[in-house]
Amino acid sequence: METAGKFVVIYSSEQERFVTPHGLYLGEKVPAVETPERTKSLVQRLVESGQVEVVEPRAYPIEPILAVHDADYVNFIRTVNSTPIDDPEIPEGKPAPVAYPFTFPYARPGLSKHRSRSIIAQMGRYVFDLSTPINSDTYPAAYKSVEVALTGADMLANSHHAQRDLAGGFCFFNNAAIAAQYLLDHPTAPAQKVAILDLDFHHGNGTQDIFYETDSVLFVSLHHTPHGAYPYFSGFEDEIGVGKGEGFNINYPLEAGTDEDTYTAVLNTACDEIAKYGADYLVVSLGFDTFCEDLISNFKLTEPYYETMAAIVSARLPGLPALIVGEGGYKVDKLGVLALNFLKGWKS
């Protein structure tokens, strides 16, 4: 998004309120990789470049979130840390300052259709992994990030892992999906079609889930094959959508060690699919965890390649208004450089 020759970056320091205390991996505590420093480092580098205009997000009501996410799920994220734990093993009944799921629901023939009202049961119902803890700052920070995405969508019209009713992969509200749905529902200039191009290392399982049964959104994802990377249970080529959505979900799983030539060939094909679709708007879920030095991935994309990546997308989809939404990327000291290279390629 550009104004007066500069890219517009929509950002609020409120997004930095949520700090993940630690991660849990294979039974061990591990340092958190989803930290406020990621965003601060990236935005600071962009500002120093003089190539961007930073804009505060506008305030929005909750309705755009509820157009994508289940209302009970949203209320859970908002209230879990103030709800007393009703379990005899915790006689004090105090709320959990940091909520991690303890047990997960499963489907078996003969099980009751009733849903436990226990807050511990809700932790397992509404969070699908152990990398996405919730504390009292989660809801306001996640809500502010939604307002960032909606502000960008409004400027056009005038997370990725989060599903309709599940948090996971460091994601609580799916900003790309909320922005896409808002463009379709826009009060003054509603779109007929929106394309989402997901360029994160990990499959955007939440975005796929939300739009799997519609032809109003084309979801195209380049990601590491789920045979060897999170979220493991989605992202295969045969996931093409159902009902009206059949044919409007396209996955390109890539192997470990994917190099720039391979990525370029697949990206060109992905852009051709989007061009064929004829979208009114493009939402790019941009992850920098495809970078060769990233802490939790294994692709071979170098710093200069992000300029090439952006140039391919903008050249193959000329004139298509685009909103770029941030996703993963955990090499903190390189995020600003990668973002600048991407913007340089887009502008070229």
Contacts of 244 (CB under 8 A, 6+ apart): 213, 214, 215
Q: How many CB atoms lie within 10 A of CB 120?
A: 18
Contact 31, 23 (CB under 8 A): yes
Query: Which residues pair with residue 8 across a beta bridge?
Result: 53
CA–CA separation, 109 and 251 (whole Å): 32
**301 within 8 A of 254, measured Cβ to Cβ:** no
> How far apart (Å, rounded) are the C-alpha atoms in residues 269 and 80?
43
Known catalytic membership, residue 186: no
Query: Cα-flanking dihedrals φ and ψ of residue 338, to 5°?
Result: -65, -40
The CA distance from 259 to 276, in Å, is: 26
Selecting among 69, 160, 161, 223, the annotated active-site residue is 161
Q: Tokens standing for 244?
A: 């009206």
Residues annotated as catalytic are 161
